[in-house]
Chain A
Amino acid sequence: MLLMVGGVFAVLSPRFLTPGNLLNVCTSASVVAIVGLGMTLAIASGNFDLSVGSTAAFAGCVTVSLVQQIGVALAILAGLATGATVGLINGLIVTELGVPAFIATLGMLTIVRGAALIYTGGRDIYLYGQTQYKILSSGLTPVLLALALAIVLWFVLQHTRFGRHILATGSNAMSARRVGVRTSLVLLGVFSIVGAAAALSGLILSAQVLTGNGRLATGLELSAIAVVVLGGTPLTGGQASIAGTLQGSVLVAVINNGLNLLNVSIFYQNVTLGLLLLGAIALEALRTDRRRTKQLTTR
């Protein structure tokens, strides 16, 4: 699928296969992949996080505003901590107040977006001459970060007790509690990771333009969910495909980039992403439906 789409664009646009363009594709794929990897964990645990776009923007603003005062490294840590904290709050709303993740994170989507705008006073924060911060988005850094995160999360899911507990909680939370899994703690961990991942992609985005902007990464939550679903992780929880999410991210980035090169308007790109998402979900529904008819539990 990916090769096919890539091939079509390569034929249609001579600029598609240039090294510069491919790096662009990789960078934008990495930004979505990093959030998408966090989202994979959330979906595997039977949850969602709709607040990732806002979290990315907020974390970007926090970091950019702090670079001058505390230096790049500490500012980056502060940004990631901001993301993790937002995630933790999401988790607490879900586990302690019992609000479904969909609603909880939808609320946080607007709250955090608002917080980012309040924090910046609605203005852009510019960073002049901070070439050190630019490293985060230049060259292969985003790709390496995405790959590193993918490897870490894959390891967590395959080889750690925490990973196993995530899958168990997502598959059947009631059973998980009965075998002694502390499902609330598991979800707090998952939401914090999602928040930190969202923050990381927010930092990359803000480093690209050396600007803190409260309106950054609008709609990122939908692309993130799209790449997870395209990658074959079912929305019902209990399963996760890290490699699938990576592939999904590259596919979405290739399509957006190709359409850009062909001068297709951004509006049509939005339509394409939506159609892709619907197609992926319909395909998944078809698969599970077929499995069900096989077992003949429903008509």
Chain B
Amino acid sequence: MDEIQRVPILAVQNLSRRFPGVLALDNVSFDILAGEVHALVGENGAGKSTLIGILAGVYQPSAGQVLLDQKPAFFPDPLSSQRAGISVIFQEFSLLPHLSVAENVFISREPRHGLTVDWATMNRRTQEILSTLNVEIDPATLVSELAVGQQQLVEIARALSAKTRMIVMDEPTAALNEREAVRLLEIVRSLAAGGVSVLYVSHRLEEVFSIADRITVLRDGRHIVTERRSAITEQRVVSAMVGRELVHSTRPSRTAGAIVLETKDVTVDGGLVRKVSFSLRRGEVLGLAGLMGSGCSELMEGLYGLREITEGSFLIEGRPVRIVNPRSAILTGVGLVPEDRKRQSVFPDLSVAHNLTIGNLPRWFWAFPGLLDLAGERRKTLDYKRQLNIRFTRPEQRISGLSGGNQQKVILARALAGNCRLLLLAEPTRGVDVGAKAEIYALIDRLVQKGIAVILQTSELPELIRLADRCIVFVAGEPRGELCGAEITQEAVMSLATGLSHRVTVDSASLRSVQ
């Protein structure tokens, strides 16, 4: 492809956008060529969402302009942006679940016979668009019956039905499994080949490097670099994103102490996970790995009392314990950082301080367990702020205003404040940006060094390799094998997890892949 000859379909020039108290976009300029896949990357808070909002007609720029076909364009509302041929697919879909695929594709633009909807034409044209995407979905299916990946394809079909010249995709693979993601990337390529430009917003660099023609990096609202993919390395993109060279850290050597946890033939929920026996020492990280449905999450939930342990025994520091609910888990010294931050760990309406201390509220006076020590709570919060380098302005601030990485640090602090001996970490860095990820790894290292025992469940193999001293691989609810230290490699884990005896080549570093 010869980029030099292509013309920019859209350009932003000296674009700024100010919100009360923040300059979300600061003098940003770059352009998007016709038929180009242009990746926009940056950490949370870099200004990606604001830029998308301006293109979608949700926000107005405070300064600067958007050029469409080299002429100034104004998008005072979402409709005018759509009319100009820009379709934005937001992270949270805007499909109507109780309507059919065809109705969603043609919503508010239904073909009509006079006053009534021309169903036949609508279904036929939907079918045509879906088949150009190589998708087999019946246009009459209700959207609520589709998988997330298919819903995304319906969003794309809707964009195409409206004679779109440019599609903006905000973290399009965030909700997809690996197979759906691969499919989506193919479709993005074919859209571009057909002349539609795609602005692909993501922080998954692997994806970005596999499809983008050019990459633009934003940081703190400023434009850092726009470069052809062939002319930039992943390393450079990362350092442009975080503003410094990230030291690629490796697992430190650790010395394990006395045994903290021993399980013998543990079976969860009558067979979701069967016959698991292992022991775990102080200062050690045990990884649990497996494909979706392999039972890792269920085992974690069993250890924390969220699922019933129907058979087997469970010893903490040599004493048999029965954990029947989260409360008894906490009382025996087990802490959890749940898998799904938004649903299972954050209290969005409460302050940072309240979120941090909720598991172990400071007492005003030992004899009155019901009364709180608010000054102590504040102190404790500021302590953890310093220790874990959490970024917030006031302990009274609502947690929902923090970035994903900082929220996760608050959740980690919450688990630590419970003085646990055994810490269960489920997907500890999901949805966290690169910089915070490195900090969380360093933090886990520090905890382990202090003698806490950690069980780590993660679908990201590099994370497993970086953190785990040992790793048990699960297949269909049963432990299939154990790997130690340097034996933990992507190939070794994947070949155990997929049940293949020969070595498989892994081009994706994710275990969410094959299902």
Interface residues of A (CB under 8 A from B): 158-162, 164, 167-168, 170-172, 174-182, 236-239, 293-299
Contact = CB atoms under 8 A, between A and B. Distances in A.
5 closest A-B pairs by CB: A238-B349, A171-B347, A179-B359, A171-B349, A180-B327
Contacts of A295: 49
Interface of B: 19, 49-50, 52-53, 56, 58, 78, 88, 90-92, 94, 304, 306, 325-327, 329-331, 336, 338, 343-350, 354, 358-359, 361, 364, 369-372, 374, 414
Contacts of A172: 343, 346-348
Contacts of A236: 349
A182 B92 contact: no
Nearest to B347: A171
Nearest to A293: B58
B326 A177 contact: yes
Nearest to A155: B371
B326 A164 contact: no
Given A180-B326, A299-B94, A164 B348 contact: no
Contact of A175 (B50, B329, B346): B346
B372 A159 contact: yes
Contacts of A239: 349
A187 to B, nearest CB: 16
B347 A175 contact: yes
Contacts of A177: 325-326
B511 to A, nearest CB: 23
Contacts of B78: 299
Contact of B358 (A159, A164, A174, A297): A164
Contacts of B354: 164, 167-168
Contacts of B361: 161, 164
A172 B330 CA distance: 19
7 contacts: A161-B361, A161-B370, A164-B361, A170-B349, A177-B326, A180-B330, A297-B90
Given A175-B338, A179-B330, 16 more contacts: A161-B369, A161-B372, A162-B370, A164-B354, A164-B358, A167-B347, A174-B343, A175-B346, A179-B414, A181-B358, A238-B347, A293-B58, A295-B49, A296-B90, A297-B91, A299-B90
B56 A299 contact: yes
Given A164-B358, A164-B372, A175 B344 contact: yes
B328 to A, nearest CB: 9
Given A167-B350, A238-B349, A239-B349, A174 B344 contact: yes
Contact of A159 (B94, B331, B374): B374
Nearest to A167: B350
Determine the main DSSP class of A at the interface with B: helix
Contacts of B306: 178
B345 A175 contact: yes
Contacts of B374: 158-159
B348 A238 contact: yes
A178 B350 contact: no
B49 A296 contact: yes
Contact of A168 (B53, B358, B371): B358
- Most B CB contacts (10 A, CB to CB) among A162, A171, A297 go to A171
B371 A159 contact: yes
A298 B90 contact: yes
Given A160-B370, A298-B90, A178 B336 contact: yes
Nearest to A175: B345
A175 B52 CA distance: 32
Contacts of B358: 164, 168, 176, 179, 181
A297 B49 CA distance: 9
B94 A298 contact: yes
Nearest to A291: B400
A180 B359 contact: yes
Contacts of A297: 90-92
Contacts of B359: 179-180
A171 B94 CA distance: 25
A182 B328 CA distance: 11
A174 B346 CA distance: 9
B290 to A, nearest CB: 22
A10 B331 CA distance: 60
A290 to B, nearest CB: 12
Nearest to B20: A294
- Most B CB contacts (10 A, CB to CB) among A164, A237, A238, A239 go to A164
A191 to B, nearest CB: 19
- Most B CB contacts (10 A, CB to CB) among A171, A179, A236, A239 go to A179
Contact of A178 (B19, B345, B348, B369): B345
Contacts of B364: 159
Contacts of A181: 358
A291 to B, nearest CB: 9
A236 B330 CA distance: 28
Contacts of A164: 354, 358, 361, 372
Contact of A299 (B50, B58, B345): B58
